[in-house]
Amino acid sequence: MPTLRETILAALHTRISALAATALRGEVLPERVPTEGLLILRDGEPGEPEVTLSPLRYHYQHRAEIEAVVQGADRDAIFDSLTASIGTALAADRTLGGLCDWVEAEASRPVDPPVEGAASLKAAVIPVVLHYSKADQLA
């Protein structure tokens, strides 16, 4: 049985998989980027939880990351559309079906992909903060 953390990350991956771009999880950047763009979900860091007692609960602000990459002549327009669609998809259900207390994307940070021919790529990392609570840190 998967942990709550894994269930939430799988739900986030499913949510971004519904977008036009190809969505991967934890993969390396492939040699070719699909025309519609590429999204790579990185599991990120759950961080140090806040703890409440009676009942014991660990409250996380888990920071996952979505790498958004586009390639081609019209990359600026495609990139803009892709990042906007991520925000729309997350806003449609801020709890990922009740798994989280709140899900929110932060502003994207541009990155330079370390690949040959990177001039034709446009990429950014989009941090996604997943707020959730659980009774056991390892469950």
Which residue is associated with the tokens 């860091």? 45
CATH of the domain at 33: 3.30.2000.10
**In sequence order, what DSSP letters do the residues of 83-95 get, joined into one string?**
HHHHHHHHHT-TT
pLDDT at residue 132 tops 80 = yes
Q: Which of 22-31, 36-45, 71-80, 124-133 has the lowest mean pLDDT?
A: 71-80
pLDDT on residue 115: 65
For the chain, the domain total comes to 1
Indicate the pLDDT class of residue 120, thresholds 50, 70 and 90.
confident
| Predicted pLDDT of residue 118 | 56
pTM of the model: 0.93
For residue range 96-110, what is the model confidence (pLDDT) as tens digits?
A: 999 999 999 999 999
Percent of the chain exceeding pLDDT 90 equals 79
Q: Please check whether residue 139 lies inside any domain of the structure.
A: no
Domain of 77, in residue numbers: 4-134
Asked, for residue 9, whether it belongs to a domain, the answer is yes
Residues 6+ positions from 54 with CB-CB distance below 8 Å: none
Among 71-75, 90-94, 122-126, the range scoring the smallest mean pLDDT is 71-75
Q: Give Cα separations from 87 to 9, 48, 51, 53 (angstroms).
A: 16, 26, 30, 34
